[in-house]
Amino acid sequence: MRLFHLSDLHLGKRLHEYSLLEDQRDILEKILQAVRQERPDAVLLSGDLYDKTMPSAESVQLLNLFLEALAAEHCPVLAIYGNHDSPERTAYGGGLFWKARIYVSPVFDGIVRYVTLSDSFGAVDFYLLPFLKPASVRSFFPEAEIESYTDAVRTVLEATRRTADPTHRKVLLAHQFVTGAARSDSEETVVGGLDNVDAAVFEGFDYVALGHIHKPQNIGSERIRYSGSPLKYSFSEAAQEKSISLVTLGEKQADGMAALKVEELALTPLHELRCLRGSYEEVTARSFYEDLPKEDYYRITLTDESDVPAAMQRLRTIYHNLMELAYDNRRTKNSAELELRRAADARTPEELFTDFFRSRNGREMNALERELLTEALRRQEVEA
């Protein structure tokens, strides 16, 4: 079975107040072209279909046209909502969508819905696990100890495994931050890494199609993978290569797991994100910019010691879509160092130790270690 794994469309996204709808419309058309060429057996959309919980009318229309085009190609779609999506809005009309083989996860009610598709090797069950927080799980599992995101996902998946057919291959769609994944600036983060989920909770699935992280990457093995976003949504992603993850799921092997192959199909954006650096004189020299596409999106860092008057307006005569202008000089370095010191001074002892523990051990503290830290800090306060 051949699958297209995609995530984090973030329809309606704006970058430095620039609307990216034109870019998103273009990349969705390129994905449709790839569907027509490769003829996958299904398309997986692993959350964050929209950029906001209340998406614009243009964003909703764009997703609607994309899903209609996939349905016209007789290609099943399996989708979940992410942390940027409204569960109720994303799940709206889900019953009708299912009849068109567009399977969208409903609002979480304690049960993970699944869809079964088949190929020459038998059945594949696709489990639709939307973005979960511990609070949204506790009410459905009142007897379970759920203190972390890992606890929440583990509890739900353990219940799911109890009713799973062991003869079927299993694919999971999920939208969480798995410990060890490399983040980008465009993703929402939780202070202290409290949203981390241990990859061990996904054991037993032949493939885990993850969303939430915008850089394409495997976590531990190619069986647990982020497809990444189809477009670059921050200048920290400028060097990344965006792609569709083409997943080929074969028959079960002697170890009980399905044969698996993952390939990347490159996606070329309408506009690239480019980061330039140099003095004002350097970046305005014809020899510097003459071979650069003028309509791409730019971030320019000037190294001049003094601010250049009206630099943004003047640079936009050359770089039409200049989105961000920054300086890197003695003044900004001193300001950055001061901000770092202020940030460190403002952190609590618990936050400072948590950062220290993470840097030394390469992981977050577990529940017992956090309990010991809390008790040590409490004793210190009493003795003081």
Residues 51 and 135 in one domain: yes
In this prediction, what percent of the chain has a pLDDT beyond 90? 76
Judge contact between 258 and 249, C-beta under 8 A. yes
Lowest-confidence segment of 221-225, 263-267, 320-324, 334-338 by average pLDDT: 334-338
Residue type, 216: P
What is the pLDDT at residue 346?
Answer: 58
Residue type, 35: V
Q: How far is CA 41 from the centre of its chain?
A: 23
Residue with tokens 């060890």: 180
Does the residue 357 lie in any domain? no
> Distance (Å, rounded) from C-alpha 207 to C-alpha 237?
25
Mean pLDDT within 287-314: 95
Residues 103 and 52 in one domain: yes
Last residue of a domain, one of 212, 244, 266: 266
Residues 223 and 126 in one domain: yes
Lowest-confidence segment of 71-75, 180-184, 311-315 by average pLDDT: 180-184
> Distance (Å, rounded) from C-alpha 174 to C-alpha 127?
9
Residues 45 and 194 in one domain: yes
Does the residue 371 lie in any domain? no
| 3-class secondary-structure state, position 82 | coil
Last residue of a domain, one of 246, 266, 286: 266
Residues 156 and 285 in one domain: no
Does the residue 139 lie in any domain? yes
Lowest-confidence segment of 26-35, 219-228, 338-347 by average pLDDT: 338-347
Does the pLDDT at position 382 exceed 80? no
Residues 14 and 107 in one domain: yes
Q: Residue 347: pLDDT band by 50, 70, 90 thresholds? A: low
What is the pLDDT at residue 70?
Answer: 97
Residues 177 and 200 in one domain: yes
Does the residue 162 lie in any domain? yes
pTM of the model: 0.85
At CA 304, angle to CA 298 and CA 306, rounded to 5? Answer: 115
Lowest-confidence segment of 96-100, 269-273, 297-301 by average pLDDT: 96-100
166 against 98, higher pLDDT:
166
Does the residue 260 lie in any domain? yes
Residues 161 and 293 in one domain: no
Q: Residue 357: pLDDT band by 50, 70, 90 thresholds? A: confident
Residue type, 325: L
- The enclosing domain of 237 has a CATH number of 3.60.21.10
> Distance (Å, rounded) from C-alpha 380 to C-alpha 374?
10
Exposure string over 41-66, b if 16+ CB within 10 A, otherwise e? bbbbbbbbbbbeeebeeebbebbeeb
Judge contact between 103 and 148, C-beta under 8 A. no
Does the residue 377 lie in any domain? no
Lowest-confidence segment of 48-52, 266-270, 337-341 by average pLDDT: 337-341
Average pLDDT of every residue of the chain: 90
Last residue of a domain, one of 331, 349, 368: 331
Residues 16 and 31 in one domain: yes
pLDDT of 225-282, one tens digit each?
999 999 999 999 999 999 999 999 999 999 999 999 999 999 999 999 999 999 999 9
111: left (phi over 0), alpha (psi -120 to 50) or beta: beta
Does the residue 362 lie in any domain? no
pLDDT of 163-175, one tens digit each?
999 999 999 999 9
What is the pLDDT at residue 32?
Answer: 98
Residues 317 and 191 in one domain: no
Q: Residue 321: pLDDT band by 50, 70, 90 thresholds? A: very high
Does the pLDDT at position 2 exceed 80? yes
Residues 257 and 289 in one domain: no
What is the pLDDT at residue 92?
Answer: 80
Q: Which domain holds residue 157?
A: 2-266
Does the residue 369 lie in any domain? no
Residues 156 and 282 in one domain: no
Structural domains counted in the chain:
2
